[in-house]
Structure 1
Amino acid sequence: MALAEAPGSYGGTGGFAARLNALSLGAVPPPALILLGILSLQIGAGMAKHMFDKMPPSAMVLMRLLTSAVVLGFLARKALRGVLRDHSRKSLLVATGFGLSLALMNFSIYQSFARIPLGMAVTIEFLGPLLISIVASRRPRDLLWALLAGAGVVMLARGGGEVDPVGIGFALLAGACWAAYILFSASTGQRFSGSTGLAVASIVGTFAILPMGVHAGGAALLDPQLLALGIGVGVLSSVIPYSLELEALRRMPARVFGILMSLEPAVAAMVGVVVLGEILTGRQWAAIVCVMIACAGATLGSQRPAAPAPD
């Protein structure tokens, strides 16, 4: 199972790609779509972190999930009307698990963003899909990629400067949730057609984070300007990247897709420098490169193709 099986980390909006394709996405080379999606995702993350002093992380997560849920709910509105009637209790429980993993993944990574640099948090989070890829391959030499990634995380934690261990813990939790997200995504895709399963998961995730988000956001959630910025973060972080990645995945080999997705930690680190002024040490940059190499190597060693993109 390759990294390509998890487009749009931090959640996405399946099915929207078909609409964007009508805007001539087919003329854009797939690698460019991947890079644009990664850049959009990380700029959205940088914008969210920049707003934490006005809208706390939990409130930003609520805005992001709510944006995805509204878009997905609208696109899958016909299928959602009969979702309770047409699907078994087990299928609904799987979709619920998918939604809870989506909510906890977003909550954890945003809590990590609030404590450690963007590039560091995203790099550590990548351990989740990397572990899934290595376990799925069952090749002894892939343990070397796991060791390289582990060494990279140790270098990040001891790369100079003060590093909040709670921030690292939240990033590790986000990685574990990303791994669960991948597994639940595959199972949900087998039980629900099109983007219906992801729509259900997004709605569940939104309701799961709603009490915490409302409590943390308070009056800020009623500020029109902050609301507009929060919706913008949701579009940049979920709608655009997931749509671009799905379109690219339809037109390129899964392994190439996975290798290109391995650039995400470096892009996150650069966005952290440019948008947030988060300067990393040389050792921390080397650690990010180690994790990227491990992700690319594990993707090349994967024996499974990526899961088919939803229609």
Structure 2
Amino acid sequence: MNSTRSTLWLPALAVLGSVTSLCIGTSFAKKLFPLIGAEGTSALRVGFSALVLLIVWRPWRWPLSRRDAGSVIRYGLTLGVMNLLFYLALRTIPFGIAVAIEFSGPLAVAMWSSRRPVDFVWLACAIAGLVMLLPLGHDSPLDPMGVTLALAAAVCWALYIVFGKKAGHLHAGHSVSLGLVAASFVVVPYGIAHAGASLLNPGILAAGLGVAVISSAIPMSLEMMALKRLPSETFGIMVSLEPAVASLLAMLLLGEHLMSSQWLAIGFIVLASIGSTVTAKRAATPSVEVAG
């Protein structure tokens, strides 16, 4: 009995640790914005993440067909654009809200292929949450450009899932490490063009490496471990807590306090994500969840 409980609790704690690590890393990354901008911070995160995972997984050990290479490149480029857009959105809107808006991407993919009545309940929850967050009125506290960038990141996350499924038969370490290399070809040059020589400051480089490890290397490693031991539904439920965890940590680490209506909106989106996960068929793949 005890071994069975530990078999379930340890991977569940690993997912929670992954989400928490990702959110802490992103919160620290936002503190680098005044020094090297969102573009430079994104370049350091993606670039160092690619280097770390290349060293850890050594993807050249596995063969890669031309077709698989195309799939990995497509999903890697989409991952790079998604990270860049998300960091650009963080310049002007709170972290927790940006995550909640970005979650509309995987939610859309999850609901697109299903027409069951219960899915319309989760769709209504997601729409209600988004409507409460979007700057539809003149008195909205959210920056319209920041929200637009977060929505664009959501579209990229949806495409990332679609492209990632085409490479889902590959080992996760293989596809993710090569995907991040492809992502770095988009993000790193853009970041260098905007931040310039500031990226060569030893302190900035050290901070960027820390952000990459905390927000990418550690979460991805924990997720891959948990995916082998948890049912996909349980994994999806745990990951669905990310908007709430991000909001709490942003409040503690960044002083970003949300209004009650914004907390309620995030609650609707979390409920939609959990609900769609619970009622979905057992067809989730690792590439759907490993993002951020």
Change (3 A) 1:198 1:308: closer
Q: What's 1:29 paired with? A: 10
User: Which among 88, 93, 104 is matched to residue 127 of structure 1?
Assistant: 104
- 1:262: Cα distance to partner? 1.2
- 1:122: Cα distance to partner? 0.2
Secondary structure (helix, strand or coil) at the match of 1:195 reads helix
- 1:196: Cα distance to partner? 2.2
- 1:26: Cα distance to partner? 7.6
Q: Which amino acid aligns with 1:127?
A: S
CA contact (8 A) 1:137 1:301 kept: no
- 1:144: Cα distance to partner? 1.9
Aligned equivalents of 1:29, 1:161: Cα separation in 2: 42
Q: What TM-score do the two structures reach when normalised by structure 1?
A: 0.84
Alignment of 1:1-311 (within 5 A): 29-77=10-58, 79-80=59-60, 86-88=64-66, 90-157=67-134, 162-190=141-169, 192-307=170-285
CA contact (8 A) 2:93 2:146 kept: yes
- 1:150: Cα distance to partner? 1.1
Gaps of 5+ in 1: 1-24
- 1:136: Cα distance to partner? 3.4
- 1:285: Cα distance to partner? 0.4
- 1:92: Cα distance to partner? 2.0
Between the two proteins, the alignment pairs up a number of residues equal to: 280
Aligned equivalents of 1:105, 1:308: Cα separation in 2: 18
CA contact (8 A) 1:61 1:110 kept: yes
CA contact (8 A) 1:259 1:295 kept: yes
CA contact (8 A) 1:137 1:303 kept: no
4+ aligned runs moved over 4 Å, structure 1: 25-28, 158-161
- 1:75: Cα distance to partner? 3.4
Aligned equivalents of 1:304, 1:91: Cα separation in 2: 24
Aligned equivalents of 2:252, 2:196: Cα separation in 1: 30
Q: Which amino acid aligns with 1:179?
A: A
Gaps of 5+ in 2: 1-5, 288-292
Q: Which amino acid aligns with 1:150?
A: I
Change (3 A) 1:28 1:146: closer
Q: Which amino acid aligns with 1:187?
A: K
- 1:194: Cα distance to partner? 4.9
Deviations 1:30-51 (A, max 9, x none): 2211111111100111111111
Secondary structure (helix, strand or coil) at the match of 1:247 reads helix
Change (3 A) 1:53 1:308: closer
CA contact (8 A) 2:237 2:274 kept: yes
Q: What's 1:9 paired with? A: none
Q: Which amino acid aligns with 2:216?
A: S
Aligned equivalents of 1:53, 1:247: Cα separation in 2: 35
Deviations 1:151-198 (A, max 9, x none): 1011123597521011111111111111111122221133x4452222
Deviations 1:64-114 (A, max 9, x none): 11122112222343x42775xx512x3222111111111011001101111
Secondary structure (helix, strand or coil) at the match of 1:231 reads helix
The 10-residue stretch of structure 1 (147-156 or 134-143) with the greater mean CA deviation from structure 2 = 134-143
Give me the CA root mean square deviation. Answer: 2.1
Aligned equivalents of 1:82, 1:44: Cα separation in 2: 30
